[in-house]
Amino acid sequence: MFEKLLSEFTIKSMTLPNRFVVPAMVTRLSGEDGFVNQDIVDRYVRFAQGEIGLIVVEAMAVHNAKSGPLLRICGEEYKPGLTDLAKRVHDNGPSKVVPQIIHFLKIARSGWRQKIEDLTHDDIRLIIQQYGEAAARARECGFDGVEMHMAHAYTMSSFLSKRNRRPDEFGGKSLENRLRVPLEVVQQVRKHVGDDFAVGIRFLGEECIKGGYTTEESALIALRMAEAGVDYISLSAGGKFEDAIHRDGEVLYPYTGYSGDRCMPPADYPDAYNLHMADAARRMIRSQGLETPVIATGKISTPELGESVLQEGKADLIGMARALLADPDIPKKIREGRADTIMKCIYWNVCKALDETFHKVVCGLWPKGHIQAPLSDDTVAPEWPSTESLKVLARTNQIRLNWEKATDNEEVAGYEIWRSEDGGKNFSHLYSVQVTMYTDNLTMSGRQYAYYIKAYDLAGNKSTPSNIVKADVPLRIDLLAQPTGAVQA
């Protein structure tokens, strides 16, 4: 069932145990000092326990610029902590682990921000050098490779951007010019780490801002990076400063506008919303006879979907950020034939909201107070107190559900809501909550809905389905039969 997803994949000198990738995610677990701490180690060890093929550690700065909580790899003093992090990940499972290295520009609470158009050639030379040295440190620390951050709102992405307004050889209308500095970074990194060390890149498949580039250019960027010897290509979308919402007294945060939604598509977006970007890049690369692997990301919500993406040849590896934050054990669970115990991400973006407000990033599905995903070997599932635990109240504009608390030997972690839109024949997972009520606002009058609930515990063991409730929402006859008179004052 998960044949491709569970197959090994070799990138240069690292062989991943499966095709799962956890892309770099901001955690805000480090201090402003930039050193690895216990919370950071715990976060990545937890991913390793879940047997995730490739773990990309959150972005760490190649330079010593002021910022909020952010890891650093800009000097020798950071190496002991990073070395320990790599070792601890390796000790706890089969995962390979690479750090994402980033350069960003200055930003102020006033709304002012430094732009690439402000950089002198000396500045640029220094940044290129810093990337190379940071990559060398990554190798020295025992990581399996290194990933260059060229996505979202940061320095390298701004060079690649179609809104790069530099008048010199590093910008303007020409894509070749916009590629120059990023390609210099690739070469410098390669020079520092050698030919046998995996060097990946993450950049935008689409900028998702006015005047930004689309797959028409990102496929060319991907090709050029493949030609330049990059070992894997990981695509993101959006996350730009240009449409970010400025809040008085706070620094501008690049995931607060529409392009932020496109970066982390919320619940009301279709699954695999950004898949066409990976597909376009991969087709371009393959059309030129190159085999560079492409990682697809963006609300690939289930292993079933991930497997189908691989089977269709739209990507080589499956990146899941929020889904693996919610349940780092997805790879392990499907390997053991326990896909039914996966704690499903619902994409309500509590993680994104915490990030935006500069709080420690946790999953909203984890028990209150936990800063890591729960770990439990329990195998006993929750139970319902009665055969009539679930109740329904159907209204013309919404359906309200409430149910009795389930019981568990350990702890009930939450409830999955399953819905049928064909009167009870086929059910699919709609949402999950930690409380005992839910309002479905996407119901339409004149249609039949049915629901059941499953309770799940910390290990993801799920109860039998509750009783099924059906909701027949009458068509709004008043509205349809008396169009003018029906508007109620």
- The site for its own copies (CB under 8 A) is made up of 121-122, 124-125, 128-129, 132, 162, 169, 173-177, 179-180, 183-184, 187-188, 191, 208-217, 220, 223-224, 227-228, 243, 257-261, 268-270, 273, 280, 396-398, 441-446, 476, 479-480, 483-484, 486-489
**What is the C-alpha to C-alpha distance for residues 213 and 163, in angstroms, rounded to an integer?**
8
Nearer Cβ to its own copies, position 168 or 411? Answer: 168
Helix (H) or strand (E) holding 474: none
What amino acid occupies position 208? C
For residues 420 and 443, is the Cβ–Cβ distance under 8 A?
no
Nearer Cβ to its own copies, position 218 or 432? Answer: 218
The minimum distance between CB 275 and its own copies, in angstroms, equals 11
Q: How far is CA 325 from CA 68, 101, 114, 341, in A?
A: 22, 20, 32, 15
Q: Name beta bridge partners: 15.
A: 10
The minimum distance between CB 204 and its own copies, in angstroms, equals 14
The minimum distance between CB 83 and its own copies, in angstroms, equals 26
Helix (H) or strand (E) holding 294: strand 294-296
Nearer Cβ to its own copies, position 175 or 371? Answer: 175
The minimum distance between CB 173 and its own copies, in angstroms, equals 4
Contacts of 263 by beta carbon, 8 Å cutoff, 6+ apart: 152, 208, 236, 237, 238, 239, 255
Nearer Cβ to its own copies, position 111 or 465? Answer: 111
End-to-end Cα distance, the chain: 56
How many other C-beta atoms can be found within 10 angstroms of the C-beta atom of residue 335?
A: 16
The minimum distance between CB 61 and its own copies, in angstroms, equals 20
Helix (H) or strand (E) holding 335: helix 330-335
Nearer Cβ to its own copies, position 24 or 209? Answer: 209
For residues 33 and 331, is the Cβ–Cβ distance under 8 A?
no
The minimum distance between CB 437 and its own copies, in angstroms, equals 15
Nearer Cβ to its own copies, position 190 or 454? Answer: 190
Nearer Cβ to its own copies, position 38 or 484? Answer: 484
Of 147, 121, 2, 145, the C-alpha closest to 62 is 147
The minimum distance between CB 265 and its own copies, in angstroms, equals 8
**What is the C-alpha to C-alpha distance for residues 91 and 108, in angstroms, rounded to an integer?**
41
